[in-house]
């Protein structure tokens, strides 16, 4: 996490008389690149680090403060840091090694959203776009067919 992000985080927390603690820094970092394995690992056991309960509670707090929002996809949800912390972007996600490649926002996507929103008289607030497939490295190995 960048110093700038940390300052922003501190500022938003301060508004509600909340402290920027180690646990909250950790929680924030989890949300920057929420990778299935690492997060499950942290949430599954009481690692010597920070208690699972604290992570859950800080996620809730972040949501109240608008630091993250919850986006339903199917009947699960994903948590997404608000644009103020992570400029909006998209992901290429490798099905094999689970690596995530960040890609910049694209005008064509924004235009698409504008078009269909007008069509359905819909007021867009957030969007999520993710491409799964095989990264450069994993295409070389077997199993990427």
Partner DNA sequence: TATGTATTGCAATTATGTTGCAATTTGATT
Partner DNA sequence: AATCAAATTGCAACATAATTGCAATACATA
Residues that bind its own copies (CB under 8 A): 34-36, 39-40, 71-80, 92-95, 98, 101, 103, 106, 108-109, 111-113, 116-117, 120-136, 139, 144
Closest CB 3 distance from DNA, rounded Å: 16
97 binds, among DNA, its own copies, none (CB under 5 to 8 A by kind): none
β-sheet bridge partners, residue 104: 89
109 binds, among DNA, its own copies, none (CB under 5 to 8 A by kind): its own copies
Distances in Å between the Cα of 39 and the Cα atoms of 56, 58, 127, 140 are 11, 14, 22, 27
Nearer to DNA, 65 or 100 (CB): 65
57 binds, among DNA, its own copies, none (CB under 5 to 8 A by kind): DNA
Closest CB 30 distance from its own copies, rounded Å: 8
35 binds, among DNA, its own copies, none (CB under 5 to 8 A by kind): its own copies
What distance in Å separates the CA atoms of residue 115 and residue 79, rounded to the nearest whole number? Answer: 26
What distance in Å separates the CA atoms of residue 134 and residue 96, rounded to the nearest whole number? Answer: 7
Closest CB 29 distance from DNA, rounded Å: 13
Nearer to DNA, 35 or 83 (CB): 35
What distance in Å separates the CA atoms of residue 140 and residue 45, rounded to the nearest whole number? Answer: 35
Name the phi and psi angles at 68, rounded to 5. Answer: -125, 160
Residue with tokens 């938003």: 12
What distance in Å separates the CA atoms of residue 125 and residue 3, rounded to the nearest whole number? Answer: 27
In this structure, are residues 137 and 92 in contact, taking their beta carbons and an 8 Å threshold? no
Closest CB 17 distance from DNA, rounded Å: 4
């Amino acid at each position: 996490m960048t110093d700038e992000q940390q300052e922003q985080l501190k500022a938003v927390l301060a508004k509600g008389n909340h402290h920027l603690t180690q646990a909250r820094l950790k929680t924030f970092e989890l949300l920057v690149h929420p990778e299935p394995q690492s997060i499950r690992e942290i949430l599954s056991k009481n690692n010597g680090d920070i208690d699972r309960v604290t992570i859950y509670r800080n996620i809730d707090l972040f949501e109240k403060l608008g630091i993250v929002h919850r986006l339903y996809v199917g009947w699960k949800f994903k948590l997404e840091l608000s644009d103020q912390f992570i400029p909006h972007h998209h992901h290429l996600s490798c099905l094999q090694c689970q690596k995530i490649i960040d890609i910049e926002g694209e005008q064509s996507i924004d235009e698409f959203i504008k078009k269909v929103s007008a069509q359905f008289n819909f007021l867009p607030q957030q969007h999520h776009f993710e491409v799964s497939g095989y990264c450069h490295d994993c295409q070389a190995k077997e199993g990427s067919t």
